[in-house]
Amino acid sequence: MRVRRSLEVWKMGIVNYLDALKLQEKLISDRKVGKIPNTLLSLQHPPTYTLGKRRTYHNLLVPESDLQRMGAELHYTQRGGDITFHGPHQAILYPIISLREIGLGARKYVENLELTMIELASLYGVQAHPGGTGETGVWVGDRKIGAIGVRISSGITSHGLAFNIDPDLDYFKHIVPCGIAEKGVTSLKRETTMELPAEEVIHEQLISCFARIFAFTNLVCKENVSVLTTTHDSSQQFS
């Protein structure tokens, strides 16, 4: 008999990057001690540039003061990967899940995140594919449509993926996206010949693709979750 694998999905709307970072840290701690189940955050960020733990500052092509003038923030994180951009009209998923519980290693986990975005793109007739050696994320030809940057601590994941629905691609001109100078960035809007539905629908589809790829069969969705929602009923423990 197949075990039903549960996932709690928080639909959060637009969340400031630092607030999302603090929330993830809290949820990681709770997941490690079994206070919460496997949890998926679905959200967007205001215009934000982030650097991974390798601190590849040279891939930021403008002074930080210029970012401030354009209304964008710059933050340093402990995720893997190079510099990237998050902003409106991107679909972001931050899984806080136990890899040990679902029986995945780090490499397979990243491959499944890639497959999640590839499957979403295919719904709109877009043939996306993983990158080559040293090229994480998902590509359409030589144009990146989805970024991946993950952190795994004691088998618990955080950070995750960002899929370009229809962001302002000019923001990417101020960086070397993911440290790859010779390739470009694209979006679902640019690549598909189909008319896109409301973004909420695409967010839902991305969640569904994630659940299917990772074999989560029981989704518990929480709508319009505030970033202040950082506590669960601690009387129930999850393995």
Burial class of residue 223, CB neighbours in 10 A (0-12, 13-18, 19+): exposed
216 annotated to bind ligand: no
Distances (CA, A) of 153 to 28, 118, 156, 178, 237: 8, 26, 5, 22, 19
Q: Of the listed 9, 28, 51, 178, which one is catalytic? A: 178
166 annotated to bind ligand: no
DSSP 41: E
181 annotated to bind ligand: no
212 annotated to bind ligand: no
155 annotated to bind ligand: no
Helix, strand, coil proportions of the chain in percent (round to 5)?
A: 30, 30, 40
Largest CA distance in the chain: 58
179 annotated to bind ligand: no
170 annotated to bind ligand: no
28 annotated to bind ligand: no
79 annotated to bind ligand: yes
Q: Token match 């940057």: residue?
A: 149
Q: Is 221 a catalytic residue?
A: no
Of the candidates 131, 96, 84, which has an alpha carbon nearest to the alpha carbon of residue 210?
A: 96
Binding residues for substrate: 79-86, 147-149, 160-162
Binding residues: 79-86, 147-149, 160-162
Which residues belong to the active site? 178
